[in-house]
């Protein structure tokens, strides 16, 4: 279980470096960021599993440590802040970890993923006239997120 948790963290780091290496927001960087989000949930599955193994009381208030699939279900319900309530962590440390997971999940979505998605396709686009020449003043027309129609640039 420890080896799988370490491999999960290592995978998230490698994907994160790949996202940074992109140098721009594109489909691959957004996919990488979402992959890291999924791996965060998986990492908490291992954390809850360790807590269940090391604790002397049941992990969940329902009187069970839960199977790996139940802990995975709980982790992703917590990460996404769905909060169905069918499983509840019993101990103080477990509750603190669930709060950390929920906050991390939401902050990650509204910062990293939202920034990447908002920058998706915002690279500079140089448009030329239909005739292939530059603007009359010799400057290239560039625009950010959404290129202007040629009719607007070249009346």
Per-residue model confidence as pLDDT tens digits over 4-48: 999 999 999 999 999 999 888 999 999 999 999 999 999 999 999
Class of domain 2-119: mainly alpha
The mean pLDDT value for 82-103 works out to 94
Q: How many CB atoms lie within 10 A of CB 146?
A: 9
Digit-coded pLDDT (tens) for 68-78? 999 999 999 99
Residue 132 has pLDDT above 60, yes or no: no
Question: Which residues are within 8 A (CB) of 107 and not within 5 positions of it... i.e. 6 or more apart?
Answer: none
Question: Which residues are within 8 A (CB) of 48 and not within 5 positions of it... i.e. 6 or more apart?
Answer: 59, 66, 71, 74, 75, 89, 94, 97
Query: How high is the pLDDT of residue 139?
Result: 53
Domain range annotation of the chain: 2-119, 124-155
């Amino acid at each position: 279980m420890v080896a799988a948790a370490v491999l999960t963290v290592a995978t998230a780091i490698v994907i994160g470096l790949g996202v940074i290496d992109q140098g721009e927001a594109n489909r691959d960087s957004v996919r990488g960021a979402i992959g890291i989000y999924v791996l965060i949930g998986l990492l908490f599955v291992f954390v809850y599993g360790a807590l269940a193994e090391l604790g002397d009381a049941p992990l969940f208030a329902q009187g069970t440590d839960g199977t790996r699939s139940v802990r995975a279900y709980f982790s992703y319900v917590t990460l996404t802040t769905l909060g169905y309530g069918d499983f509840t962590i019993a101990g103080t440390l477990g509750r603190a970890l669930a709060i950390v997971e929920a906050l991390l999940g939401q902050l990650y979505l509204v910062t990293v993923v939202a920034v990447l998605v908002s920058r998706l396709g915002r690279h500079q686009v140089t448009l030329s006239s239909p005739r292939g020449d530059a603007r009359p003043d010799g400057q290239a027309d560039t625009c950010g997120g959404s290129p202007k129609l040629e009719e607007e640039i070249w009346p």
